[in-house]
Amino acid sequence: MTTFSKGLEGIVAAETAISYIDGTNGILEYVGIPIGELASKSTFEETVYLLWNQRLPNKGELAAFTSDLRARYSLPAGMLERIAGVPTDAEPMHVLRTMVSALSMYDPNPNENTVEAARDKSLNILAWTPSIVAAFDRGRRGLEPVTPDTSLGFSANFLYMLNDKKPTEAMVRAFDICMITHADHGLNNSTFTARVIISTLSDMYSAITGAIGSLRGPLHGGANEGVMKMLNEIDSVSDAEAYVMGKLERKERIMGFGHRVYKAKDPRATELMTLAKQLADDTGNADLYEKSHAIELIMEREVAAKGIYPNVDFYSATTYHCIGLKLDLFTPMFALSRIAGWSGHVIEQLADNRLFRPTVNYVGPHDAPYIPIDKR
């Protein structure tokens, strides 16, 4: 039995109880709960618990999970020196990928693959990655790293470590919503990468490192940086029409639009659109939102018939900008959140593993003669 599907479109390659996507109707659920419910009512910590346990925690469970995460905020000794040693002009995604790989060397049992060990490693990686990104960003600005504050939640602590200043409630909530909405998304490319790697019974660090490498591509998580670059190229709302039409005529892609699974508006884009508008108004960036919205309307008129709508990356760009993040930190933000989903999928894969090993259609020659080198 062989089926060839370029890009594996339409191929069911795994089973999951973590998230569900209905691409036709624009629905995303984490363990059955619509993303809009979680974005408006949950916290990132609670959402991670949901993804890893496939149920919401009660008060005691959430308090224990949160304090366990906070107790792990500080990086292993030696990691800060390692981060300080990387070139300051390195791309943050390359730094994050390299440093997550390096974390394996500080784990006395990096290859332990029991479900319990995998959960423990996931919690460490989730707790440490914000410190990696913040320490690198401060280092390249000539600033010392900020010691994490265990009295703060995941989102507040990250923004505090980045800026050495306690963030406002509004910024923390906005960042938390970004973390919630990016946490998991079916068998997307990076999650598939993580599952493929762990299916050899490799290790959690290798799986997450590979997933970060996948995520940074402009067709995947790297698109949020592409959206921001596009918004920067458009001087004002009135220029959006000519800009978008020019790109479509040249058959170029508009970043933040289109999706392999969604043929309707990505529900995460709906959540982030509301958030982006509010933040843009509050931070004096209304022009960014207006440009984005103008692009969405032009795209709706031109390509909605082909099922091309805004995806998660479209409005997250404006949101991250308004939170005060530098452009090259946008994709690392996606990674900080998606670590929750990747590790949930690794744990799920380990619990019922079978090696991923597809086949390939060979299209080269057969029985070719071996020509000696001096006759070629």
Q: Which residues are catalytic?
A: 220, 259, 313
Sign of CA dihedral 218, 224, 227, 231: negative
Contact 195, 14 (CB under 8 A): yes
Nearer to ligand COA, 105 or 219 (CB): 219
What's the rounded Cα separation, in Å, for the pair 304 and 296? 10
Nearer to ligand COA, 173 or 220 (CB): 220
Measured in residues, the chain has a length of 376
Smallest separation (angstroms) from ligand COA to the CB of 316: 10
Contact 30, 183 (CB under 8 A): yes
Smallest separation (angstroms) from ligand COA to the CB of 294: 16
Q: Catalog residues that contact ligand COA under the rule CB under 6 A.
A: 7, 219-220, 223, 253-260, 306, 308, 311-313
Contact 92, 334 (CB under 8 A): no
Nearer to ligand COA, 160 or 257 (CB): 257
Triad 224, 227, 230: Cα angle to 5°: 155
Smallest separation (angstroms) from ligand COA to the CB of 236: 22
Query: Which residues, in sequence order, are CB contacts of 261 under 8 Å at separation 6+?
Result: 21, 23, 186
Tokens matching residue 45: 């910590």
Secondary structure (3-state) at 209 = helix
Residue nearest to ligand COA (CB): 258
Measured N-to-C along each axis, helices 223-233 and 312-323 cross at an angle, to the nearest 10 degrees, of: 70
Smallest separation (angstroms) from ligand COA to the CB of 333: 14
CB < 8 Å & 24+ apart, contacts of 169-176: 170/279, 170/282, 171/323, 171/324, 174/275, 174/278, 174/279, 174/319, 174/322, 174/323, 175/323, 176/43, 176/44
What's the rounded Cα separation, in Å, for the pair 133 and 144? 13
Q: How far is CA 89 from the centre of its chain?
A: 22
Nearer to ligand COA, 258 or 344 (CB): 258
Q: What is the DSSP string of 175-186?
A: HHHHHHHHS-BT
Smallest separation (angstroms) from ligand COA to the CB of 226: 7
Smallest separation (angstroms) from ligand COA to the CB of 327: 16
